[in-house]
A = this chain, B = another copy of it.
Amino acid sequence: MPKQGSINIYTIIVQIPTFSDIQSAYLKIQNKVHRTPVLSSQKVNERAGGGELFFKCENFQKIGAFKFRGATHAVGELSDNNAQNGVATHSSGNHAQAVALAAKLRGIPAHIVMPKNAPGVKVRAVRDYGANITFCNPTQEAREATLEEVVAETGATFIHPYDNLDIIMGQGTAALELLEEHPKLDMLLAPVGGGGLMSGSAIAASGLAAYTKVIGTEPEIANDAYLSFNSGELYPVQSTNTVADGLRTSLSELTFSCIQKHVDDIITVKEQEIIDTMRFVWERMKIIIEPSSAVPVAAAFNHIDTHDQQVGIIISGGNMDLDHLPWMK
């Protein structure tokens, strides 16, 4: 224990994935994931004020979101010995479905802890992939405690939705595909929730397109990444009701380190901008994107000068409750 009055310098060393890790992940998963299309639209370009926007459409990915990439990679990396006890996670969203399907395709058990108030449609989706579901009280503590019990009982390997190297490597493969098709992007935009997609995307760009400006985007009322990025200190997200329900989580030390190293800027958008943008894309492009996916598009529409720029945007997913659209009160 240092004596009082001395100066203590702690250095935290966090190992983050490299570009070659993402290339290697891609070789392993490329035959298991969809190579999603890159779409563009004259009306979207006009709305953005010129330039060319390229949407990497992970809403067309298996399970309807990019999460299947990371889960496929993480499940695939388990040794046969570890894999036989299965995998576990807690999630009520896309990560739960992604882990459930990836486990099913490898032929191993998946144990998913879900809050007992999770929407029936999400519970059914996970169950349809053959996962074992354990319900818990709807608090973060209950989730983690229940998960620990499940892991202790089953010997399953916990797969965190973003605080996990293999997950980040897998998520980065969407940007890798986009940059292969459009190597001259001036900017690459992605949403920031827990930071797994943002980290992987930024690392992919660092290896393939060092001149591409990498911009994270998040809701103004869930601006933990913005605050962390600009202060250099990791801020947890405050309780938030942002319509972009995929972006209510906080960065981890791991994803924060990736973002500090490889992201150039973080931009926030207002709730109404997210809703208006989502509706614009549905109406003009006839594709269903979830609110989290509208966040980077809203940034391009309202806060970035895209004139004469080639702008890549990761459209993260298309899963949402069609009974409750955010423009309906």
Are B283 and A286 in contact, CB atoms less than 8 angstroms apart? no
From A74-82, A135-143, A255-263, A320-328, the one touching the partner chain is A320-328
CB distance from A105 to the nearest CB of B (A): 13
Give which listed residue, B64, B289, B325, contacts A322 with CB less than 8 A: B325
A323-B328 contact, Cβ under 8 Å, with A282-B288, A287-B288: yes
Name the interface residues of A235-261: CB closer than 8 Å to any CB of B: none
Residues of B close to A17: CB separation below 8 A? none
A59-B327 contact, Cβ under 8 Å, with A279-B322, A322-B279: no
Q: Does A109 contact B (CB under 8 A)?
A: no
Residues of B close to A318: CB separation below 8 A? 286
Per-position contact with B for A158-186: 1 when CB-CB < 8 Å, else 0?
A: 00000000000000000000000000000
Q: How many chain A residues have a CB neighbour from B under 8 Å?
A: 18
Name the interface residues of A281-324: CB closer than 8 Å to any CB of B: 282-283, 285-289, 318, 322-323
Residues of B close to A66: CB separation below 8 A? none
Are A59 and B286 in contact, CB atoms less than 8 angstroms apart? yes
Task: Report copies per complex.
Answer: 2
Residues of B close to A279: CB separation below 8 A? 322
- Measured CA separation A318–B283 after assembly (Å): 8
Q: Does A60 contact B (CB under 8 A)?
A: yes
Per-position contact with B for A267-291: 1 when CB-CB < 8 Å, else 0?
A: 0000000000001001101111100
Residues of B close to A283: CB separation below 8 A? 322
- Measured CA separation A249–B289 after assembly (Å): 33
- Measured CA separation A120–B323 after assembly (Å): 24
Residues of B close to A64: CB separation below 8 A? 286
Residues of B close to A328: CB separation below 8 A? 323, 328
Known: A64-B286, A286-B287. 20 other contacts (CB 8 A): A37-B37, A59-B286, A60-B285, A60-B286, A279-B322, A282-B288, A282-B322, A283-B322, A286-B288, A286-B289, A286-B318, A287-B287, A287-B288, A288-B288, A322-B325, A322-B327, A323-B327, A323-B328, A325-B325, A328-B328
Ranked nearest first, the 9 interchain pairs of A and B with the lowest CB-CB distance are A286-B318, A286-B288, A59-B286, A287-B287, A282-B288, A60-B286, A286-B287, A282-B322, A288-B288
Q: What are 22 sample pairs from A and B whose C-beta atoms fall under 8 A apart? A: A37-B37, A59-B286, A60-B285, A60-B286, A64-B286, A279-B322, A282-B288, A282-B322, A283-B322, A286-B287, A286-B288, A286-B289, A286-B318, A287-B287, A287-B288, A288-B288, A322-B325, A322-B327, A323-B327, A323-B328, A325-B325, A328-B328
